[in-house]
Homo-oligomer: A and B are copies of this chain.
Amino acid sequence: MAILVLGTAALDTVRTPSGVRRKMLGGSAVHFAMSARLFTEVHLVAVVGADFPQAYIRFLKCRGVILDSLLRAGGKTFHWAGEYEGDLNTAITRKTELGVLAAFCPVITSEQRSIKNVFLANVDPDIQRELLERMDEPRLIAMDSMNYWIQNKRRSLMRMLKRVTIYVANDQEARLLTGERNLLNAGQSLLRMGPAMVLIKKGEHGVIFCSNKYMFSLPAFPTQRVIDPTGAGDTFAGGFMGYLARVNKLDDKSIKQALVYGTIAASFNVEAFGPERTSLLTMKDLGRRLQKYRQIVLF
């Protein structure tokens, strides 16, 4: 089963203790696609500006990402500049230039309307809603967001939470949206806002998943080579949603396995700048690291 991902295709300028990359390919939908493509067909819905390099389009196409709904508009591509210090857990944003993203209205093809698995990566919740209104009847809708929308578009975000199956947040976002410090309480509080399932990403500390029926907790894959964590959360979501789309099930066993694949995919993301490592990823790489992860976690 194919996946449709709505999000950003961006130019990222990133500085970490390991170096700098200027205007490299980035964005939530791109990072998502890099891992989801290993499991199923990925349709990317985003907008780029006139300055978006043709080489990046080729890069995505070569990796099988379907770009029928990647709009090119007059203006500049969304540009994020940020840096990481110390433990690389928190990004310090230096610049956010929305460019063509400011007036983005998602358009999809008539074939894409019937896609059953949808990931609404971090964009304005009103844009997320507009996309949903163009879809027929998705079976599984998962949604991400960020602090900015929680603070500035809370009502739109809350309305969206009632329409999605899975809300994906990081620990800070979950705390900000609910006012709860304890992440399990935050998870319970988020469930009451609408989604049947809540996935809270804790960066290097792994992930917590909860529904009204069960709860899972998994540590991250321990890695010594953290080069650039940008996009790790979206890479996680791509592995997670990719697996669920492939098995076309939502039972607890499939959810757990999907969380494991998300964990493994994200661990590759942080080992290089942008999608440098994940763009080379194969199912064999995932499988090999999954074996290691089993040894590290299972008892």
Which chain A residues in 248-287 approach chain B with CB under 8 Å?
Answer: 256-257, 259-260
* Contact status B299-A257, CB under 8 Å: yes
A223 at the interface (CB under 8 A from B): yes
- Determine the residue in chain B with the shortest Cβ distance to A258: B299
* Contact status A299-B226, CB under 8 Å: no
A296 at the interface (CB under 8 A from B): yes
* Contact status B184-A224, CB under 8 Å: yes
A88 contact set on B, CB distance < 8 A: 181
Q: Which residues of A pack against B, CB within 8 Å?
A: 86-88, 181-185, 188, 202, 204-206, 208, 214-220, 222-224, 226, 256-257, 259-260, 295-299
Asked if A297 meets B297 with Cβ closer than 8 Å, knowing A185-B224, A202-B205, A226-B182, the reply is: yes
- Determine the residue in chain B with the shortest Cβ distance to A207: B219
| Copies of this chain, tallied across the complex | 2
A298 contact set on B, CB distance < 8 A: 298-299
* Assembled-state Cα–Cα distance A296/B181 (Å): 21
* Contact status B218-A87, CB under 8 Å: no
Pick from B202, B204, B220, B259: contact of A299, CB under 8 Å: B259
A183 contact set on B, CB distance < 8 A: 204, 222
Chain B nearest Cβ from A290, distance in angstroms: 10
A-B contact pairs, 5 of them (CB 8 A): A182-B226, A183-B204, A217-B219, A256-B299, A298-B298
* Assembled-state Cα–Cα distance A185/B257 (Å): 28
A215 contact set on B, CB distance < 8 A: 222, 296
* Contact status A206-B205, CB under 8 Å: yes
Asked if A297 meets B224 with Cβ closer than 8 Å, knowing A87-B181, A206-B205, the reply is: no
A188 contact set on B, CB distance < 8 A: 224
A257 contact set on B, CB distance < 8 A: 299
A181 contact set on B, CB distance < 8 A: 86-88
A295 contact set on B, CB distance < 8 A: 214
For A224, A226, A295, the residue with the greatest tally of chain B CB atoms inside 10 Å of its CB is A224
